[in-house]
Amino acid sequence: MAVQDIMPTWVGATAKQVARGVRRGDVSATQVVADHLDHIARADADLAAFRVLRGGEAITEAEKVDEEEDLANLPLAGVPVAVKENTPVAGLPTWNGSAAVRTPVAEADHEVVRRLRGAGAVILGVTRMPELGLWALTDDETAVTRNPWDTRRTPGGSSGGAAAAVAAGLVPMAHGNDGLGSIRIPAACCGLVGLKPGRGVIPSQLGADDWFGLAEHGVLTTTVADAAVGFSVLAGRRPEKLVPPQRLRVGVSLRSPVRGVSPDAPNRDAVAAAGRLLAAAGHDTVPADPVYPTRLGLQGIATWFAAAAADVRASGVDRRSLQQRSRRHVALGEWAQRRGYVREADRAAWRVRSVGFFSDHSIDLLLTPALAAPPPEAAGWSSRSWRANMAANIRYAPFAAPWNVAGLPSIVVPVGRRPDGLPVAVQLIGPPGSELLLLGVAGQFEMESPWPRHAPGYPRVGTGSPAVA
C-alpha cells in the first residue's frame, strides 16, 4: 500500500538538498534523521526494505553532525543513508542476506561506510538482500521485500532493499554493491539511477575475494546529481561539477548476452527513446552489437557459482543451514572450480575484448536495455527451487553481467514507463575511467526527460518547501 500521509518537509528531498540545508542552517541533521525514521516507521511495514534500523544511534550520529563547527567540506552533511547488509557497519552484525550467513557484530566500519560517515552522512540502518547476494530477487524466510511502484513485484536484487528504500523516499541515497548487476537491476526495477563503477575505482573488500573481482560498491539515487556526489564520496574524491559532454558517438545494441532471451517491446522502446534523447543532446548513434560468446556465458555462470562457494568456505558457515537454492549454487561452484572452469585468464581476455570493442567500432559509449522483461512477482523465492530462481533471474535481467566480468563502468537511467505503469530504464556502458562521462550523459537524459523521483503515492518535495528553496 502506498503512503498517502502528508510527510515532513525534508522527507523526499534529494541528498544534495538535505546537505545544503544542513550546511546553511535551514534544518538540523537531527531533525532530518528524525523525520526519515518516522517515515520509515510508517512505510516500511509494507516494503520490508530494512533489515535493521539504528534509530537511537542514528539520532546520536546526527547530533554529532550538528555539533560540527565547520560543515563546508561535508558533501553529505546530515544526509540519511542506508547501507546494504553485506557491508560491515560498526556495532551491527553483517547479515549477508539471512540469519544462516550472518557474521558477528562488526568492530569497525567497512571503508565505504567510513567514507560515507566522513562526508557527513548518517547511517540509518542496513537494507535487505537475498542470501549471499546471489539473486536478483530479494526475500528470505522473515520477509519479502517489495517494489514501491507495485508491491506485487520485486524491487530486484541483490540490492533490492536499497532500491525499495530510495524509491519510497525512506532515504535519499542508499549504498549498494554490484557483482553481476546488483545495483543496476534494482535501479531499473525501481526507476532509479544506479552506477556500477569500473574495477579498482572504489575499495571493494567484499566476501572472500570480491567475487573474483566482479563486485563493486556504488549508490542508488533518484537524481544524477546525487549519484555523482555519492560516487565521489565512495571513490575518495572531491565532488566535481558534471559538465555536459561534447558530441559523442554512441553504439546501440538490443542483442542479449543470453541466447534465447530477448528484450520485450517496452524495453526495446526504451532503447529507442534513449536514442532520441541522445540525438536531442547532440550525440550520434550507430548500431554496434557486442559479440557475446557462448563460452563467456558459461564462464560467467561458473564464476557466479564459484563466488558463492568461496564466500561460504571463507565464512565457515555450515552449508546445511543455507537455503536450498544457495546449497545447490555452492555445490555447483565447487564442481566448477574442480573442473577448472573459473579462470582469471578468461575474465582478462573478455576485458581486453570489451575495451577493444569501443575503439574497434569508434564509439565512446554503448547503449543497451537494462532489463529484458518486467520485474518478477514479489514472493517467497528463497523457498523455491534453484532451477526456478535461475530461470527467473536469467529471463528478466541478462544485460548487466558481462560488464562486471569486463570490469567496465556502467549506469542505469530511467527513460519512461511500461504500459503497466512500472518504470523502464536503459543501460550505458563505457571504457575504463568513464564514470563521469556516463554520469554526464545520464544528466542530459534527466534534463531532456525528467523522471518521477519516487514511486506514485510516496513523498515528493513540494515546490515551495524549504528543501528546494
Q: How far from the centroid of its chain's Cα atoms is residue 316's Cα?
A: 28
Query: CB–CB of 188/425 below 8 Å?
Result: yes
The active-site residue out of 16, 98, 158, 410 is 158
In angstroms, the first-to-last Cα distance of the chain is: 30
Query: CB–CB of 303/334 below 8 Å?
Result: no
Cell readout for 362 is 569508434
Compute how many other C-beta atoms are within 10 angstroms of the C-beta atom of residue 52.
15
Q: Is 182 a catalytic residue?
A: yes
- In angstroms, rounded to a whole number, what is the distance separating the alpha carbons of residues 183 and 161? 11
Collapsing DSSP to helix, strand or coil, 258 comes out as coil
Compute how many other C-beta atoms are within 10 angstroms of the C-beta atom of residue 457.
14
- In angstroms, rounded to a whole number, what is the distance separating the alpha carbons of residues 219 and 154? 19
Query: CB–CB of 116/234 below 8 Å?
Result: yes
Q: Is 158 a catalytic residue?
A: yes
Query: Cα-flanking dihedrals φ and ψ of residue 32, to 5°?
Result: -60, -45
Show the 3-state SS of 299-350: HHHHHHHHHHHHHHHHHCCCHHHCCHHHHHHHHHHHHHHHCCCCCHHHHHHH
Query: CB–CB of 6/460 below 8 Å?
Result: no
Cell readout for 108 is 569497525
Residues in contact with 93: Cβ distance below 8 Å, sequence separation at least 6, in sequence order: 102, 103, 104, 105, 106
Selection from 137, 97, 196 nearest residue 401 by Cα: 196
Rounded to whole angstroms, what are the CA distances from 36 to 60, 120, 316? 14, 16, 37
Count of residues in the chain: 469
Give the DSSP per-residue string, 204-251.
Answer: ---TTTHHHHT-EEEEEESSHHHHHHHHHHHTT----------S-EEE
Query: CB–CB of 78/58 below 8 Å?
Result: no
Q: Is 362 a catalytic residue?
A: no
Between CA 91 and CA 95, with CA 94 as vertex, the angle to 5 degrees is 130
The active-site residue out of 98, 182, 382, 434 is 182
Query: CB–CB of 308/329 below 8 Å?
Result: yes
Selection from 252, 259, 337, 332 nearest residue 293 by Cα: 259
The active-site residue out of 16, 84, 196, 326 is 84
DSSP 153: B
Q: Known catalytic residues? A: 84, 158, 182
